[in-house]
Structure 1
Amino acid sequence: MSVKTNENKLMTEGSIARQIFFFSVPLILGNLLQQLYNTADSIIVGNYVGSNALAAVGSSTSLICLLIAFSQGASVGAGVIVSQYLGANNKKEVQNAVHTALAIAFFLGLILTAGGMLLTKPILLQMHTPKEVLGDSVTYLRLYFGGVVFNVIYNMAAGILNAAGNSKRSLLYLGCASIINIFLDLLLIRGFHMGVAGAAIATDISQLISGVLAILYLIRVQSDYQVSLKKIRLHKHMVKRIIQVGLPTGIQNMVISFSNVLVQSSVNGYGASAMAGFGAYMKIDGFNIMPVMSFSMAATTFVGQNYGAGKIQRVKKGIWVTLAMEILYTLTTGFLLMTFSDPLLKMFSSDPSVVNFGKLAMKYFCPFYFLLGILHGLAGTVRGTGKTIPPMVILLISLCLFRILWVQLILPCFGSIEGVFILYPVSWAFGMVLMILYTWKGHWLKG
């Protein structure tokens, strides 16, 4: 049965601030829900299993991001292409892009499932994961990657929906997944005492459900981007276009994630309490980072549609609107996180040493999130024109190369974990300056 919808909105006419804001809100809420069920794993594990298990789940984040980074780039590339064809009212190419994107997601998901399950232990050993944490980390990650194909398919489907201006659907399905995940966490961890295995299985099931719901909607919706399972295949010219746009973002995500793995390795050297405290705060950190990325995604879609329609002045105005929203949000949430740092961290663990490590991380992160907001806001804007290489280069230099050099050359001079924490705002500031210079002086608005 088909679904008629008025949820799909092109942003080529009307109030720019209103359109970006109301498109961003479902993205933000959706990403916060996704972060919520990831955080629920850590909270429930930390309270019902222990600090070592919390360290295992928390420290897995950087490795998960590393292994799924390329698929995230592919979904960004597909979203840009779909939004541009929608803006140009080219139904045939919208259909080709949508079906090619889903085929790419399926194949990437299978590759990541196999690769993640095989490579988990060797990489964890290279990350200097302590022996008391290693067993739980391997169990959690292998089970997580057993279901990662559902995560990849959902993200691609959500990218298609967001490109069409239908971000509310992504929010709805993530809401369902979040509720199911938290329920299953409590059932499997507290009820059946399955430990970190229960957390991973709960995540897999919730991602499966959100992926199925998104695909079913795409099959039933009456719109240019409606999906037919029989048509899902790789269109050669569209694969090339999606890779051209998405590959730089995928490489960027992978290399930045690799640098974060190195940073996590440095944290691991300070013991299980440091791992648990840093891991707990990184879950809280996600409630700031994910909305920053949501505003960036909204800017990419807005620019993609308006650039495709040839409305360059709207693109330029959209930059300032996006930056204002990024800065206001990050300053507000940074203040709130600092104010309520103690009760927030104690949700994960009552261990004083774990809480103290988390609060120390907050000291260096929270006041400076606006730097990251400006960096990603401008990167998302440029990316919407299909020019993904310049943002990739800038993010690689600032958030990867700079961090690697810091870990190798400067961190040993500190002699404490504070040298790891201060790296983040310094790299954000460096990237922001480079991105401002490119946006100001670059020729990204020219075809």
Structure 2
Amino acid sequence: MKDLTKGKPIRLILLFAVPLFVGQLFQLFYSLADTRIVGQTLGDEALAAVGATTTLSDMLLSFLNGLTNGFAIVIATCFGAKDERQMKKAMGGTILLGSCCAVVLSGLCLLNMSGLLKLLNISPELFAAARGYIGIVIAGLLAATLYNICAAMLRAIGDSFTPLLFLILAAFLNIAMDYGFILCLHTGVEGAAYATVIAQAVSAFLCFLYMRRKYPQLTLKKEDFKPDMILYKKLFGAGLSMGFMTSLVGIGTMALQTSINTFGTDIIVAHTAARKISSIYMLPFSVMGTTLATYCGQNLGAGKYSRIRQGIRDTVLVTFVWCTGVIISAYTVAPWLIRTVTATQKKDIIDTASLYLRVNTPFYYVPTVICLFRNSMQGFGDNRTPVISSSLEMIGKVLIALLLAPAIGYYGIIVAEPIVWFIMVIPLVVNMVRSPVLKMKDRESTSA
């Protein structure tokens, strides 16, 4: 367990973030492995079927991941306040509520699968493969959620290293099973989905087992799962806010995907590759944001408001340095990265994906601020502003999908992100400056 309320803020934040970054990198790594293995062994059409449904699975996983991360903020606040009794009850509530939400969401989506795929404008030649792949992924949402619950609880008490170990295990297991299912068992794109779900389930089981043995003081009892409506209100307040925040982003991206799916297989493959690479480029934004949520939650519980201010400021400056490196990368090695991800040699695919990256990356300083401010606000209790910002993103992307993309084609999709970023950052900056938490004196100073 790691206390983030003592010591130099930026040092603590970076030390906490590094295992988280490596873990998320491995998670992206086995996602990229899926993409390359499918593209290399099954061809561009199979890869397009997977890519055409990725936004749907990403949206669902983002909601559940946001939900559990929001629950973990309540756990982190209890940990910072040294309230072990309430912290255990919050952990019990997190497991119970998170699992129920995953099961309900899986059931609803499976019952309406055909309608969801039609909503995405999946072409007839891709429909069967897309349905097979996404159906398995959605059926396995509980496995991903259980891992995220365990990882979020460990991060809440300051342990970001243990989740890394199990993500690395999941990554290698996923890649091995990809080859086994696709090349040996000839299961097609469904094999890639089975590999992902099984790897997540194994990772979740081992992570829970480890936590039980490593932290026996956190072993939950039957009474920790007893419903506490006041506590559950806090959990849902933080969890639904963060879950809706991330899923609203996903809904907007899904709206764009409905337009992309009408542009043909090459554009779908190019966009899939560009989004995979941009996910790596943007990874430090989300990792530092997740770290700040835990950091702010612990320091809020401890009443150390000056540390919240300093941590946010220092993290923004450090992440801006990464943005500069990303821009250089997009203008130098983007074509090589695209070939590596897709295994394609088609010039049109490589050029289109490169254009996407080169137009978007110079504006990355804006989403940096968005990710860091959004998560910080969740950490110190502002659940409203991040949802407003994410709602603006969703509305902007839907309008672009309806108006701009039909008028100027895929270039409308490319410029959509920067336009939306500038719109959604406004409420975050305004409310961050106005936030009463950032103007409060430390609790020790007040009582002195």
1:304–1:285: structure 2 CA closer, same or farther, 3 Å change rule?
A: same
C-alpha contact (below 8 Å) 2:330/2:354 kept by paired residues: no
C-alpha deviation, 1:96, in angstroms = 0.2
Residue correspondences, number = 438
Residue in structure 2 matched with residue 353 of structure 1 by the alignment: 348
Q: SS of 2:282's equivalent? A: helix
Residue in structure 2 matched with residue 138 of structure 1 by the alignment: 131
Residue in structure 2 matched with residue 402 of structure 1 by the alignment: 396
C-alpha contact (below 8 Å) 2:53/2:134 kept by paired residues: yes
Structure 1, 194-203 or 276-285: larger mean CA deviation: 276-285
C-alpha deviation, 1:108, in angstroms = 1.7
Q: Does 1:363 align with 2:338?
A: no
> Percent same amino acid at aligned positions?
25
Q: SS of 2:381's equivalent? A: coil
Provide the rounded CA distance (Å) in 2 between the counterparts of 1:9 and 1:142: 39
Provide the rounded CA distance (Å) in 1 between the counterparts of 2:71 and 2:412: 38
Deviation string 1:66-107 (CA, Å, 9 cap, x unpaired) is: 233432232122111010000000010000000110111221
Deviation string 1:285-336 (CA, Å, 9 cap, x unpaired) is: 2112332111001111111111110011111101111111221222213322
Q: Which amino acid aligns with 2:240?
A: L
Q: 32, 40, 46: which is aligned to 2:33?
A: 40
1:63–1:277: structure 2 CA closer, same or farther, 3 Å change rule?
A: same
Q: Which amino acid aligns with 2:320?
A: I
C-alpha contact (below 8 Å) 1:130/1:272 kept by paired residues: no
1:299–1:274: structure 2 CA closer, same or farther, 3 Å change rule?
A: same
Residue in structure 2 matched with residue 4 of structure 1 by the alignment: none
Q: 88, 96, 104: which is aligned to 1:95?
A: 88
Q: SS of 1:307's equivalent? A: helix
Q: Which amino acid aligns with 2:258?
A: S
Structure 1, 52-61 or 363-372: larger mean CA deviation: 363-372
C-alpha contact (below 8 Å) 1:69/1:250 kept by paired residues: yes
Give ranges in structure 1 of 5+ residues lacking alignment.
Answer: 1-7
C-alpha deviation, 1:121, in angstroms = 2.3
Provide the rounded CA distance (Å) in 2 between the counterparts of 1:288 and 1:426: 19
Structure 1, 428-437 or 342-351: larger mean CA deviation: 428-437
Q: SS of 2:345's equivalent? A: coil
1:114–1:77: structure 2 CA closer, same or farther, 3 Å change rule?
A: same
Q: Which amino acid aligns with 2:134?
A: L
C-alpha contact (below 8 Å) 2:212/2:218 kept by paired residues: no
Provide the rounded CA distance (Å) in 2 between the counterparts of 1:331 and 1:124: 38
Q: Does 1:284 align with 2:270?
A: no
Residue in structure 2 matched with residue 63 of structure 1 by the alignment: 56
C-alpha deviation, 1:231, in angstroms = 4.5
Q: Which amino acid aligns with 2:24?
A: N
1:431–1:119: structure 2 CA closer, same or farther, 3 Å change rule?
A: same
Q: Does 1:121 align with 2:114?
A: yes
Q: 429, 434, 440: which is aligned to 2:427?
A: 434
Residue in structure 1 matched with residue 172 of structure 2 by the alignment: 179
1:234–1:54: structure 2 CA closer, same or farther, 3 Å change rule?
A: farther
Residue in structure 1 matched with residue 445 of structure 2 by the alignment: none
Q: Which amino acid aligns with 1:370?
A: Y
Q: Which amino acid aligns with 2:146?
A: I
Q: 171, 187, 191: which is aligned to 1:194?
A: 187
Q: SS of 1:386's equivalent? A: coil
C-alpha contact (below 8 Å) 1:81/1:241 kept by paired residues: yes
Provide the rounded CA distance (Å) in 1 between the counterparts of 2:164 and 2:140: 21
Residue in structure 2 matched with residue 419 of structure 1 by the alignment: 412
Q: Which amino acid aligns with 1:181?
A: N
C-alpha deviation, 1:228, in angstroms = 4.7
Provide the rounded CA distance (Å) in 2 between the counterparts of 1:442 and 1:411: 37
Residue in structure 1 matched with residue 444 of structure 2 by the alignment: none
Residue in structure 2 matched with residue 29 of structure 1 by the alignment: 22
Counterparts of residues 265-304 of structure 1 (less than 5 Å): 265-304=258-297
C-alpha contact (below 8 Å) 1:292/1:373 kept by paired residues: yes
Give ranges in structure 2 of 5+ residues lacking alignment.
Answer: 441-448
C-alpha deviation, 1:142, in angstroms = 0.6
Counterparts of residues 363-382 of structure 1 (less than 5 Å): 363-382=358-377
C-alpha deviation, 1:262, in angstroms = 0.7
C-alpha deviation, 1:400, in angstroms = 1.0
Q: Does 1:250 align with 2:243?
A: yes
Q: 383, 391, 394: which is aligned to 1:388?
A: 383
Structure 1, 51-60 or 225-234: larger mean CA deviation: 225-234
C-alpha deviation, 1:172, in angstroms = 0.6
Root-mean-square deviation (CA, aligned residues, Å) is: 1.8
Q: Which amino acid aligns with 2:305?
A: I
C-alpha deviation, 1:254, in angstroms = 2.3
Q: 179, 202, 212: which is aligned to 2:205?
A: 212
C-alpha contact (below 8 Å) 1:297/1:380 kept by paired residues: yes
Q: Which amino acid aligns with 2:197?
A: D
Provide the rounded CA distance (Å) in 1 between the counterparts of 2:222 and 2:135: 29
1:331–1:48: structure 2 CA closer, same or farther, 3 Å change rule?
A: same
C-alpha contact (below 8 Å) 2:245/2:390 kept by paired residues: yes
Q: SS of 2:331's equivalent? A: helix
Deviation string 1:124-154 (CA, Å, 9 cap, x unpaired) is: 1121111121111101001112211110111
Provide the rounded CA distance (Å) in 2 between the counterparts of 1:307 and 1:436: 20
C-alpha contact (below 8 Å) 1:55/1:272 kept by paired residues: yes
Q: SS of 1:12's equivalent? A: coil
Provide the rounded CA distance (Å) in 2 between the counterparts of 1:142 and 1:128: 16
Counterparts of residues 324-339 of structure 1 (less than 5 Å): 324-339=317-332
C-alpha deviation, 1:119, in angstroms = 2.5
Structure 1, 96-105 or 353-362: larger mean CA deviation: 353-362
Q: SS of 1:339's equivalent? A: coil
Structure 1, 234-243 or 129-138: larger mean CA deviation: 234-243
1:116–1:335: structure 2 CA closer, same or farther, 3 Å change rule?
A: farther
Q: Which amino acid aligns with 2:430?
A: L
Q: Which amino acid aligns with 1:404?
A: V
TM-score, structure 1 length as denominator?
0.93
